[in-house]
Structure 1
């Protein structure tokens, strides 16, 4: 009789992307990027490739104090950075967004943010100063200029009314004006992928791609202006940062050929069914749930835990993505973290064979995620076709998963054209620092042309 272990491995084969499948994914993503950049195809394209209106990267000549606001999830950060000749000083504070504000009105959201901004400025003795602010807003935005961004849709559990279809910079400015006590000029709005690129470019001049692999997933890259058919800004500058919004790749069915029953179930139970399909196969918001669904299936098949699960195992959302990182951090043959996780889930009757099965499921789901991101990055590297590019990466999955970096390095190396050199760089504080740097670069340019 075949052992449970072998059947689990067979069942998990659907989570393995073959090289042929990965090449097909790359080809489809490349086509979608071209559509997103094209004048006649942009409106119907799935991967939107929004223009960011950022044409200059930091060059080290930025000077002064700058504020940044970083809103991208259940909390947000306010930062102040001080840029000197050989000096970079940054302080920040995290503020929570209560759930009633996440699902309330846009006015209440921006009023809450403005109040926290004021408190932060008081704490750092800059309440009386007029400061430039960079605003990281990590939701799908259609940018109409460096300081004008129209929210396309909420993601990550937000549903504030009166914001979709509106300019979020104006929403923030209105909240600041309602207070009447702050003197701030918003110099740029960007998302976290763009912030990551800017932040890494400040340290590493070869940085041309910024990627997020956290709660969500997205990428930003430097494109030649001549390829950006929708761009009507300053002519003469060769480059423009493009926010791909690649999390939506697959929303039109292009990834159905590699999706599994687990992916379909995660999607149908999400708050945005049919949307952000690639993101749901990659990011931290969904990875743990994909593992849980596979474990539930194998338990019901009698392959795990003697066929006896627990109430928690059968409860949606109970298997956190951080468990995946913890389980895969154990050395081969050691199941200490795995045992702790399973005990937390009420599965203290798990045998060592069960733990090996659980770890195999985690490895399959996280490897697939790493390979999907690698396919995306390799597509961008091949499209840009520059000899050397640094990829700035931020996000909890990349930061905390023990093998993600290695899996990506190996896979991207197989997928890029010969002669392209790449490095993966962990962004320190990308989205916040990047927002301040966007404000700093905008101020530098203003001084240049004054």
Structure 2
């Protein structure tokens, strides 16, 4: 799916009255704190650009918030990649192992999903990598490739400081992980050691990357203008193609392209106070109760891990203020993370004025006594939270396009919020169209399995460079 910005530009006056006029006045006014006009977004864009510049430079990188890690991926795929490759995709409570076969524009994939038990997510790091190696061995045996030494691209979607294409030092855990003995260590080395401890499979881990790089590579395989990879899912991050001379942390010789993909780790934007001008008391409450308080503040206003909880906190606040549910809180409404991002998306997918799915959700939340006015208000709260998320993403993407200076850029996007929220894509594109410089256009392209196919493509590009 793609959409030119100049085609998607909404007509004058469009999307002005996006909320139901029947929203309770007190709640309408209270939620205005989540509205971001273009002046606020321009201020954030300036700050974000300054953060990127600091992250790219050697003298300011150690103290920068937006880290701008070089990925050591210097070349994009050209469509001639061939062969069999493995991909390992670790970025949440489940992970996938994939067998990918490429043949000049064609891609066949087999994959299997494995769960990560909750105790392993917060246990010793050696247990995590032993579990991954066990599942990897199970997969290659089932697919009868155990006797082949296949290149593997390792998608590791946590903040990494890369020292090379297959050396990635974990900076910090996110997404509920907190395994001992991994921060400050090379995750590729830990995976290789776990594979060697088993001594029953031979695998060539030839590249480590995060899901944004995989998304960019997957889309670039089909679209030569793709220069940005974006994830809006459980977490949020982006990468983009930068000139090597601007990436001062990149310390390998130019191998021909003069470019390198930069992993922004943009979820941390605002950890230095840059977002204080738009953060609300609800944002602060969510952050204080999180496992990484004070960190990933941008992500906590954008990603699927937090959007539903923001809505729940507003619902609790307004109920305690006597503005919803006749002031009566259900047990479920008081349970942290009980109201999910999926609920938010499904409520906004209901036809305006119809509350079919919302009623089912409210019953699940122990709120069967909700009035029609409550339903109107809940939808409005959801709309405010999701619009803010989309507008923050739009501002970040336009900042990258402006920085690169390319007049026609494709953004490869993946992630559950972008894919499944009924209005996110439209809201993001409309706001980008308002913010982008005259004469610049953009496409937005849904990634086809960036963490899988993209990881295999990174491995394939790396394999082409290896001496025979």
Under TM normalisation by the shorter chain, which class is it? over 0.9
Q: Secondary structure at the match of 1:333?
A: coil
Contact 1:199 1:427 (8 Å CA) reproduced? yes
Name the structure 1 match of 2:384.
364
Please tell me whether residue 152 in structure 1 is matched to residue 143 in structure 2: no
Q: In structure 1, what is the Cα distance between the partners aligned to 2:308 and 2:250?
A: 40
- Correspondence for 2:192 among 147, 151, 173: 173
Name the structure 1 match of 2:137.
118
1:286-301 equivalence runs, <5 A:
286-301=306-321
Task: Give, in angstroms, the shift of residue 294 of structure 1.
Answer: 0.5
Name the structure 2 match of 1:439.
459
- Correspondence for 2:447 among 384, 409, 427: 427
- Correspondence for 2:93 among 46, 56, 74: 74
Q: Return closer, same or farther for 1:185/1:225 CA change in 2, 3 Å cut-off.
A: same
- Correspondence for 1:335 among 355, 358, 364: 355
Task: Give, in angstroms, the shift of residue 4 of structure 1.
Answer: 7.2
Please tell me whether residue 184 in structure 1 is matched to residue 203 in structure 2: yes
1:231-250 equivalence runs, <5 A:
231-235=250-254, 236-250=256-270
Contact 2:213 2:454 (8 Å CA) reproduced? yes
Contact 2:23 2:376 (8 Å CA) reproduced? no
1:22-33 equivalence runs, <5 A:
22-33=41-52
Name the structure 2 match of 1:352.
372
- Correspondence for 2:304 among 265, 271, 284: 284
Q: In structure 2, what is the Cα distance between the partners aligned to 1:350 and 1:230?
A: 55
Contact 1:4 1:303 (8 Å CA) reproduced? no
Task: Give, in angstroms, the shift of residue 315 of structure 1.
Answer: 1.4
Name the structure 2 match of 1:105.
124
Q: In structure 2, what is the Cα distance between the partners aligned to 1:192 and 1:33?
A: 19
Structure 1 residues 284-343: Cα deviation after superposition (integer angstroms, max 9, x where no partner): 111001000101111111111111121111111111110000000011111111111111
Task: Give, in angstroms, the shift of residue 86 of structure 1.
Answer: 4.5
For normalisation by structure 2, the TM-score amounts to 0.94
Task: Give, in angstroms, the shift of residue 419 of structure 1.
Answer: 1.3
Please tell me whether residue 89 in structure 1 is matched to residue 114 in structure 2: no
Please tell me whether residue 397 in structure 1 is matched to residue 417 in structure 2: yes
Name the structure 2 match of 1:314.
334
Task: Give the superposed CA RMSD.
Answer: 1.0
Which moved further from structure 2: 417-426 or 263-272?
A: 417-426
Q: In structure 2, what is the Cα distance between the partners aligned to 1:231 and 1:409?
A: 32
Q: Secondary structure at the match of 1:292?
A: helix
Structure 1 residues 186-232: Cα deviation after superposition (integer angstroms, max 9, x where no partner): 11000011111111111111110001111110000000111111222
Q: Secondary structure at the match of 1:393?
A: strand
